């Protein structure tokens, strides 16, 4: 199963809301993935297939890690636009 981690500074606020929105997006598109929120310092240890975060944190991930930069942690429309194509691509592999 695809493992997605939403990442923010502490892993309990913005990324938690984003994880919930991504779960909604997945359900609406009949897709499945393991989605959890984490803080940035723990993110690398999660060994996820995809990390979802804002630009300020995305730039700090190693280049060999799959990261999608989102424009908002709370806008379902923007998160869908930013994340859904990559999720579909990863699930098709």
Domain residues for 39? 2-92
pLDDT range class, residue 25, cuts 50, 70, 90: very high
pLDDT of residue 3: 98
Question: Model pTM?
Answer: 0.94
- Residue whose structure tokens are 């009949």: 30
pLDDT of residue 44: 82
% of the chain with per-residue pLDDT over 90? 89
Query: Residues 21-32, buried b or exposed e (16+ Cβ, 10 A)?
Result: bbeebbeeeeee
Instruction: Dig out the tokens for 67 from the structure.
Output: 């990261």
What's the total number of domains in the chain? Answer: 1
From the list 3, 63, 62, the residue with the least C-alpha distance to 38 is 3
- As a whole number of angstroms, the distance between CA 38 and CA 47 comes to 12
Q: What is the CATH number of the domain that holds 62?
A: 3.40.50.2300
- pLDDT of residue 11 exceeding 80: no
């Amino acid at each position: 199963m695809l493992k997605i981690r939403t990442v923010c500074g502490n892993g309990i606020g913005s990324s938690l809301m984003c994880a919930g929105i991504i779960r909604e997006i997945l359900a609406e598109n009949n897709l499945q993935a393991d989605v959890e929120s984490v803080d940035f310092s723990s993110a690398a240890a999660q060994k996820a297939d995809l990390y979802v975060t804002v630009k300020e944190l995305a730039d700090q991930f190693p280049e060999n890690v799959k990261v999608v930069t989102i424009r908002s942690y709370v806008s379902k429309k923007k998160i869908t636009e930013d994340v859904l194509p990559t999720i579909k691509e990863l699930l098709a592999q």
